[in-house]
């Protein structure tokens, strides 16, 4: 796979001085350049094995989980955002898994948990974005076998939400220009950020980055960024924003016409053999419907996961996982034979 640990290390170092910038992203009502390419992508290039890389796995029969939780020792110069990017994680993910750790100064010798094990979302075809965990999944063939690749993303903030539903990749563009709509240009003026031009050409000042995939819902894109420090946060104008190195790999793999399913699934149950796991994330701040009925939503997910396979569950542990919201799968039950 194109992304290696060294690539992530170099990319992380390049973002050290950026700080935490909640930058404007191309979002709802945004247009890329008019000459969008509709060429199909190419197949994934990976090596064989159940764990192909830190981001791509061959799916194994009988399990709905991929990856493993890891740890690293922080150096004096590290921030949690540096560590997150080097290991294919986003801002919120690394914070959830390391409560109480200072994000900007974790401290030399601090053990940092890497939440790099995932329960697959309920939708498992094409591109699937689970906004509750700030993560995109790409289900595709890996060496002729069913596989999945997953990456952290940023999503739309409260007043510019990322739309739930089933869409598709309508077109693709390398080095897109950005045509910010009047609403975003007015926002720039109101916020004191100055005049935003009607056309932002490709280059280092373009918030779309070097690659963009237009969705079939008008005005929404999956794209790169020129501000990678904010990946894994709710900060865009509705679009789905990725690390530059992640979108660079994903862009040629995804053909035009690929289905895109956007879901909001803060609680996921999944089977690994006879063991039942729960992965819990905090509901989005503006997700009032889930926040008002969190345990009901969690129970509904449990019922769906055990509909055809009953389980004996430790409900005290389920409640503990739910309250911690650390985004790490925990075994909470076993199958009843």
Domain with residue 256: its CATH number is 2.40.440.10
Whether 95 is in a domain gets the answer: no
Q: Are 239 and 218 in contact (CB under 8 A)?
A: no
Given pLDDT bands bounded at 50, 70 and 90, which one contains residue 229? confident
Whether 64 is in a domain gets the answer: no
Write out the two tokens for 221.
């894109």
- What percent of the chain lies above the pLDDT cut of 90? 64
Q: Are 96 and 115 in contact (CB under 8 A)?
A: yes
Q: Are 246 and 212 in contact (CB under 8 A)?
A: no
Whether 286 is in a domain gets the answer: yes
Helix (H) or strand (E) holding 320: helix 315-324
Whether 305 is in a domain gets the answer: yes
Domain count, the chain: 2
Q: Are 117 and 93 in contact (CB under 8 A)?
A: no
Q: Would you call 48 helix, strand, or coil by DSSP?
A: coil
Q: Are 253 and 42 in contact (CB under 8 A)?
A: yes
**330 has pLDDT over 90:** yes
Say which residue, 53 or 291, is predicted with more confidence. Answer: 291
Helix (H) or strand (E) holding 246: helix 244-253
**219 has pLDDT over 90:** no
Strands 221-223 and 240-242, bridge-based pairing: parallel
Whether 171 is in a domain gets the answer: yes
Q: What is the mean pLDDT of residues 70-81?
A: 96
Tell me the whole-structure pTM to 2 decimals.
Answer: 0.82
Say which residue, 285 or 247, is predicted with more confidence. Answer: 247
How many other C-beta atoms can be found within 10 angstroms of the C-beta atom of residue 233?
20
Given 234, 263, 292, the domain boundary residue is 263
Q: What is the mean pLDDT of residues 253-282?
A: 97
Do 170 and 33 belong to one domain? yes
Given pLDDT bands bounded at 50, 70 and 90, which one contains residue 114? very high
Do 170 and 231 belong to one domain? yes
Q: Which domain range does residue 321 map to?
A: 267-335
Do 210 and 273 belong to one domain? no
Do 232 and 272 belong to one domain? no
From the list 266, 264, 232, 247, the residue with the least C-alpha distance to 153 is 232
Do 179 and 234 belong to one domain? yes
Q: Would you call 198 helix, strand, or coil by DSSP?
A: coil
**185 has pLDDT over 70:** no
Instruction: Give, in order, the Cα–Cα distances in Å from 305 to each of 109, 120, 124, 323.
Output: 40, 12, 14, 20
* Partners of 124 in beta bridges: none
To the query of whether residue 11 is one of the catalytic residues in this protein, the response is no
How many other C-beta atoms can be found within 10 angstroms of the C-beta atom of residue 191?
9
Given 240, 263, 286, the domain boundary residue is 263
Do 257 and 295 belong to one domain? no
- Exactly one of 223, 237, 281, 325 is catalytic; which is it? 223
| Model pLDDT, residue 206 | 85
123-138 pLDDT, tens digit per residue, is: 999 999 999 999 999 9
- Exactly one of 11, 87, 237, 239 is catalytic; which is it? 239
* Partners of 240 in beta bridges: 222
Whether 55 is in a domain gets the answer: no
Whether 94 is in a domain gets the answer: no
Given pLDDT bands bounded at 50, 70 and 90, which one contains residue 235? confident
Dihedral class, residue 295 (left if φ above 0, else alpha if ψ from -120 to 50, else beta): alpha
Given 236, 263, 290, the domain boundary residue is 263
Write out the two tokens for 61.
């029969």
281-290 pLDDT, tens digit per residue, is: 999 887 888 8
Q: How far apart are CA 299 and CA 56, in angstroms?
A: 30
Do 26 and 162 belong to one domain? yes
Write out the two tokens for 158.
């409260």
Do 212 and 229 belong to one domain? yes
Do 144 and 236 belong to one domain? yes
From the list 259, 166, 157, the residue with the least C-alpha distance to 213 is 259
Helix (H) or strand (E) holding 14: helix 5-14
Q: How far apart are CA 172 and CA 149, in angstroms?
A: 19
Write out the two tokens for 53.
């890389």
To the query of whether residue 239 is one of the catalytic residues in this protein, the response is yes
Whether 5 is in a domain gets the answer: no
Rg (CA), the chain: 20
Do 229 and 273 belong to one domain? no
Do 258 and 271 belong to one domain? no
Number of H helices, E strands in the chain: 8, 20
């Amino acid at each position: 796979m194109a992304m290696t640990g060294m690539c992530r290390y170099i990319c992380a170092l390049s973002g050290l001085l950026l700080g935490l910038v909640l930058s404007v992203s191309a979002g709802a009502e945004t247009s890329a350049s008019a000459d969008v390419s509709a060429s199909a992508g190419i197949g994934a290039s990976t090596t064989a094995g159940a764990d192909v890389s830190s981001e791509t796995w061959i799916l194994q029969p009988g399990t709905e989980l991929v990856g493993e939780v890891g740890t690293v020792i922080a150096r004096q110069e590290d921030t949690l955002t540096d560590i997150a990017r080097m290991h294919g994680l986003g801002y919120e993910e690394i914070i959830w898994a390391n409560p109480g750790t200072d994000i900007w100064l974790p401290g030399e010798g601090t053990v940092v948990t890497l939440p790099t094990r995932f329960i697959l979302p309920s939708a498992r075809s094409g591109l699937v974005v689970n906004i509750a965990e700030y993560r995109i999944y790409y289900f595709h063939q890996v060496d002729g076998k069913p596989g999945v690749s997953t990456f952290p993303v940023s999503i739309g903030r409260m007043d510019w939400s990322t739309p739930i539903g089933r869409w598709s990749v309508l077109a693709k563009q390398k080095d897109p220009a950005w045509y910010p709509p009047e609403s975003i240009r007015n926002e720039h003026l109101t916020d004191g950020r100055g005049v935003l031009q009607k056309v932002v050409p490709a280059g280092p000042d373009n918030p779309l980055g070097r690659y963009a995939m237009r969705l079939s819902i008008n005005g929404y894109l999956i794209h790169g960024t020129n501000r990678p420090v904010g990946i894994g946060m709710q900060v865009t104008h509705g679009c789905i924003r990725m690390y530059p190195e992640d979108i660079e790999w994903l862009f040629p793999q995804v053909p035009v016409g690929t289905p895109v399913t956007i879901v909001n699934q803060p609680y996921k149950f999944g089977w690994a053999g006879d063991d039942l796991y729960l992965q819990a994330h905090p509901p989005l701040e503006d997700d009032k419907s889930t926040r008002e009925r969190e345990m009901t939503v969690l129970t509904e997910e449990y019922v769906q996961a055990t509909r055809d396979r009953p389980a004996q569950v430790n409900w005290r542990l389920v409640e503990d996982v739910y309250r911690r919201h650390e985004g790490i799968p925990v075994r909470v039950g076993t199958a009843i034979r």
